[in-house]
Structures are given as C-alpha cells and as structure tokens.
C-alpha cells in the first residue's frame, strides 16, 4: 500500500496536488479538450502565509474551488484564454448591419485597446475594481474626457456581457454606473438666449463673407434639423406646396471621404417638419442662388443637394462646423461681450428650448425634433432659467 503524498509541513496532498522543490504548490487538471493545465500558488491553504518576497495570491485550494465552480457551471477555464482586445473584436464582429458611424466608433475603441496594456488582460482576471480603477486612470492620468470614456465603456460593457452569456466569465466587471466612478466633465450645450440668437444672425447677415451662409444658419435655428439631415436635403425634400420639409435620410462622409446616405439617427427621425414663412423664404433663396453644376452629384440615388463644395460635391457636416467656428472667432474678435460657443447642434438646442418656452405641446415638439424618447426632449434640450420660470408663474397666476 503506497503512502499518501504530503507537503513539507506534513499535510496530506489531494489528488492532482504537488509541492515543487522550491516550495510552490501545483495542481494538475485537464481542460475540455483533454489538454493538461496547471494552477500554481505559494500557499496550500487560505490560512497559510505567503513566503517572504513572493507574490501574494489565492491559495491553491481556493483556486481549485474556483475551478470546480467554473466547471460545474460550464464556465470556460481562463476565460477561454481571451484577452480584452480579442473579446471586443469578437463582440464587434457580431454587430452586423450597424451604421457607419457606429462601426467607426468600434474601430476607434479597438485601436485604443491595441495600444493600452488593459487590452492584453485576460478577461477572467478583470475584476470590478480593476475596471473602475482603469477608467479612473484614463481620466486622471491620461486626460481622457468623459465622453471618450463613455464611448470606451459603452463597447466594453456589452462585450463582457456577451462573455458572461457564453459562460467565459462569472460576472461582468463593467456592469456599474459610470457616473459613480469618473467625473462627468462634459461641457453642457447651452441654448442661446433670444437676444444672442438675434445678434448672431444679424452679424452673419451683415458680414460680407459669411452672409452667403445666412439662410442655412437661419433654417438651422428655426427648424431643429440635425446638421447631417440638413446637408442631406435635396430640392425634392422641400415641399413648398404643403409648406413642409421631408426628412427621410441623412448624408454622411466617412473618414476615407466616402459619401453615404443613411436613415436618420432614430426611427423617429423620419418626419415632416412644418415650415414657417421665414423658413420657406430662406429655402427659396438658397435654391434661387444655387449654381447648377454641369453634372449633378449622385449619392446612393439622391441628387439635387442644396449646397455643393468647390469640387461640386455635397457639403457635409464638417464644412458647417468649420463655418460656425470661423464666424464665432470673427464675432468675438470684434465685440467685447463674447458670444458663447455656437455650433449646428447649438442651433438645434436653441430651437427646441425656444419652442418649449413658447408653450409648444411636448409631444409635438418631440415629433419635430425626431426624438425617440420624450425624456430627451424634456431633459436634454430644454434649458429653462429663473426668468423663464418667473414669466410662466405670472402667466399662470393671471389666468
């Protein structure tokens, strides 16, 4: 009868357990493919002390219990040996039919993880505290903004959820509220006051160079159109007979200069926006001034775009972002009272805020804005200040 194997402390070792000559413990097991695998620890039991100058960690028998639990629940040992980067690539590969902008966002996160050491971490070693500390490091040490971190975490959380569903891990380390971990330092987009809007539009109208963009900027301030929707408009989308703008697509230009027509940002983005007389007049002026090119550019079956660049291709959002920046720079170089940041999206905010303050029915406003959720209309875009509340209180009391 063979004697039972013991460690150097005289303790009986279980099947698969072995103590090496240097004192480290090892446990041998077989994975699902029949291949030999090993667990290592400097401690046999959780009550053992870690030898001096050795890296602390779970005891061998704690690791054995974790392995047993994983095997019982059909969780792949070692997270299937997937790294964070490999998991994200696998996850994004499953996202078929997403928008070009979404696919670009995925690639941006992949590119980042290829450079960051966190991308090389094995997924089963990532704990919730690891995930939180990493995001904090991104903000405090690497200077990443909240929106960037939000984007990165927005890909990692569903990727780890997929790993959880595939029985590769026991819990999702990114399943927590982001705002409880990193500071939201995003700049709030403020709507312009009516006086600021008036001064801005007057400045554009009177400026010899920027006046060519006046009608477009006026329309953005008075329709709530997204800039990608505006640049996608064609002459056929302006229905003068029924006084409405038909919004059923948006124009996108990718980083490799490819022009694409996509559906609006949300399903609710497909809509018809009523035109005021002033907006209608602005569209008539744009069409009247439009120089017809020798060959109309055709993008995915659409032609007759309202604004073309020097290459006779449709202007895109980036063009207008730059125009707005140049206008703001010139305005603030002339006047002591500075104009706050104005972008095409600020125009959209301002329109929504003005309509809300004027008492427009929230559901009607939601439709015009193309929001899929009424809370977006009420909470994100509506900027109400004390003077607005005061005026509304006086109005209600006068009834």
Catalytic residues: 226, 265, 345, 348, 371, 381
State how far the alpha carbon of 285 is from the alpha carbons of 74, 214, 229, 244, 389, in Å: 68, 10, 19, 16, 38
Whether the CA torsion 78, 81, 85, 87 is positive or negative: it is negative
| SS3 call for 109 | helix
Beta bridge partners of 20: none
Spatial separation of the C-alpha atoms in residues 148 and 142, rounded to whole Å: 11
CA 337, chain centre distance (Å): 34
**Extended strands (E) in the chain:** 17-19, 25-30, 36-41, 238-239, 244-247, 250-253, 259-262, 271-274
> Where does residue 143 fall: left (phi above 0), alpha (psi -120 to 50 degrees), or beta otherwise?
left
CA distance 275 to 281: 9
Answer positive or negative: Cα dihedral of 330, 323, 229, 374. Answer: negative
Interatomic CA distance for residues 19 and 41, integer angstroms: 10
The answer to whether 8 and 45 are in contact (CB under 8 A) is no
Q: Two tokens at 367?
A: 């439709």
């Amino acid at each position: 009868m063979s004697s039972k194997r013991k460690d150097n402390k005289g303790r009986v070792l279980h099947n698969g357990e072995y103590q090496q000559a240097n004192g480290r413990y090892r446990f041998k097991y077989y994975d699902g493919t029949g291949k030999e695998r090993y667990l290592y620890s400097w401690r046999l039991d959780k009550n053992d002390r870690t030898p001096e100058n050795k890296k602390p960690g779970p005891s061998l028998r704690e690791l054995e219990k974790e392995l047993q639990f994983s095997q019982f629940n059909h969780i792949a040992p070692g997270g299937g040996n997937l790294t964070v980067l490999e998991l994200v690539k696998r996850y994004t590969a499953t996202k078929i039919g997403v928008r070009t902008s979404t696919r670009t966002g995925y690639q941006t996160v992949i590119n980042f993880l290829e450079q960051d050491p966190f991308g090389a971490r094995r997924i089963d070693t990532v704990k919730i505290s690891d995930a939180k500390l990493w995001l904090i490091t991104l903000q405090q040490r690497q200077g990443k903004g909240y929106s960037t971190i939000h984007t990165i975490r927005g890909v990692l959380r569903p990727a780890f959820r997929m790993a959880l569903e595939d029985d590769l891990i026991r819990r999702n380390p990114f399943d927590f509220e982001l705002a409880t971990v990193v500071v939201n330092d995003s700049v709030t987009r403020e709507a312009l006051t009516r006086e600021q809007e008036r001064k801005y539009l007057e400045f554009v109208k009177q400026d010899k160079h920027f006046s060519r963009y006046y009608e477009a900027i006026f329309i953005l301030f008075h329709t709530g159109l997204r800039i990608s929707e505006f640049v996608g408009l064609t002459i056929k989308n302006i229905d003068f007979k029924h006084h409405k703008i038909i919004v059923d697509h948006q124009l996108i230009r990718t980083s490799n200069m490819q022009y694409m027509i996509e559906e609006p940002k949300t399903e609710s983005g497909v809509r018809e926006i009523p035109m005021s007389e002033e907006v209608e007049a602005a569209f008539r002026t744009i069409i009247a001034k439009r120089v017809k090119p020798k060959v109309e550019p055709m993008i995915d079956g659409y032609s007759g775009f309202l604004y073309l660049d020097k290459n006779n291709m449709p202007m895109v959002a980036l063009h207008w972002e730059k125009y707005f920046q140049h206008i703001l720079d010139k305005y603030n170089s002339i006047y002591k009272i500075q104009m706050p940041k104005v972008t095409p999206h600020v125009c959209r905010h301002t329109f929504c805020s003005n309509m809300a303050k004027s008492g427009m029915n929230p559901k009607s406003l939601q439709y015009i804005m193309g929001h899929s959720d009424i809370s977006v209309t009420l909470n994100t875009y509506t900027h109400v200040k004390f003077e607005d509340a005061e005026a509304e209180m006086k109005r209600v009391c006068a009834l």
